[in-house]
């Protein structure tokens, strides 16, 4: 039988699965993005409080800041607009509210850029960003690999959700079944978060509670995660 040729949809899907994979060598598993500090402060302590925390993060941080920023970076990459990419990267670096969150964005950005270069992706515009930030690199690499904008944002949101659920499983701690229930609730909310991001005129960084918890985490006595 003749071998079926891959369709554009299947090619995009495989690229998005690859970008969202926890096996991507960027170190995402080592960060909790403030969740561990929330556990230490007693704000997150069981499945219900974990769900509340993560759904708030999806709505207040991902849908309002990270995903709209990625949308701008994807559009700049598609248009070959280096100046807009620089502005996107500057925005990310200027709005990280703690040293840990800034270091995470820079480390994961550098790691993804190194991976992309190893895959033969054109990283000329990214190399001009010093240092390249994670959301911008993710958006540009996705665009370069043929991801549509909605597809890219869904992949980014799922990758974030899966990583944070695993952080909750380890850090709260929770069982694997509870983790899967948490992931199911986040997956059910991702489509609305992406729609909000696509409709947003610009990214908005305003999460003071997260910033305070993240700053406290930097001097927390006992830690599993880097943020």
Q: What is the mean pLDDT of the chain?
A: 93
The answer to the question of residue 156 being in a domain is yes
The answer to the question of residue 131 being in a domain is yes
CA–CA distance, 107 with 110 (Å, rounded to integer): 5
The answer to the question of residue 151 being in a domain is yes
pLDDT of 176-223, one tens digit each?
A: 999 999 999 999 999 999 999 999 999 999 999 999 999 999 898 888
The answer to the question of residue 90 being in a domain is yes
The answer to the question of residue 224 being in a domain is no
Residue 8: pLDDT over 70: no
The answer to whether the Cα torsion of 67, 69, 73, 79 is positive or negative is positive
Q: CB under 8 Å to 133, separation ≥6 — which residues? A: 89, 92, 93, 105, 106, 109
| Weakest-pLDDT range from 23-32, 55-64, 185-194 | 23-32
Residue 166: pLDDT over 60: yes
The answer to the question of residue 141 being in a domain is yes
Residue 168: both structure tokens together:
């909750």
Query: Is the peptide bond prior to 162 cis by the omega test (within 30 degrees of 0)?
Result: no
Q: Work out the average pLDDT over 57-73.
A: 98
Q: What is the pLDDT of residue 221?
A: 82
Give the total number of structural domains in the chain. Answer: 1
Residue 4: pLDDT over 80: no
Q: What is the pLDDT of residue 222?
A: 84
Task: Report CA 46 to chain centroid distance, whole Å.
Answer: 23
The answer to the question of residue 4 being in a domain is no
Higher pLDDT: 172 or 121? It is 172
Q: CB under 8 Å to 44, separation ≥6 — which residues? A: 35, 38, 50, 53, 168, 172
For the domain that residue 134 is a member of, what is the CATH number?
1.10.4190.10
Q: What is the pLDDT of residue 102?
A: 96
Higher pLDDT: 122 or 38? It is 38
pLDDT of 68-127, one tens digit each?
A: 999 999 999 999 999 999 999 999 999 999 999 999 999 999 999 999 999 998 888 898
What domain range is 176 assigned to? 34-217
| Weakest-pLDDT range from 43-52, 73-82, 117-126, 130-139 | 117-126
The answer to the question of residue 222 being in a domain is no
Q: CB under 8 Å to 12, separation ≥6 — which residues? A: 146, 147, 148, 151
Q: How confident is the model at residue 10 (pLDDT cuts 50, 70, 90)?
A: confident
């Amino acid at each position: 039988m003749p071998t079926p040729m891959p369709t554009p949809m299947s090619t995009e899907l495989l690229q998005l699965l690859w970008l969202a994979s926890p096996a991507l060598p960027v170190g995402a598993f080592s960060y909790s993005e403030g969740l561990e500090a929330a556990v230490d402060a007693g704000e997150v302590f069981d499945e219900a409080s974990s769900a509340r925390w993560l759904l708030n993060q999806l709505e207040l941080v991902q849908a309002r800041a990270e995903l709209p920023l990625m949308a701008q970076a994807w559009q700049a990459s598609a248009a070959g607009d280096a100046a807009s990419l620089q502005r996107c990267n500057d925005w990310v670096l200027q709005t990280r509210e703690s040293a840990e969150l800034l270091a995470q964005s820079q480390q994961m950005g550098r790691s993804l850029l190194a991976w992309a270069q190893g895959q033969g992706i054109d990283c000329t515009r990214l190399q001009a960003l010093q240092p390249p930030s994670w959301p911008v690199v993710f958006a540009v690499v996705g665009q370069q690999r043929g991801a549509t904008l909605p597809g890219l944002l869904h992949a980014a949101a799922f990758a974030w959700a899966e990583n944070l659920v695993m952080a909750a499983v380890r850090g709260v701690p929770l069982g694997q079944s509870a983790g899967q229930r948490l992931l199911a609730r986040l997956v059910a909310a991702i489509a609305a978060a992406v729609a909000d991001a696509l409709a947003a005129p610009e990214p908005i960084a305003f999460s003071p509670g997260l910033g305070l918890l993240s700053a406290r985490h930097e001097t927390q006595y006992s830690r599993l995660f880097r943020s």
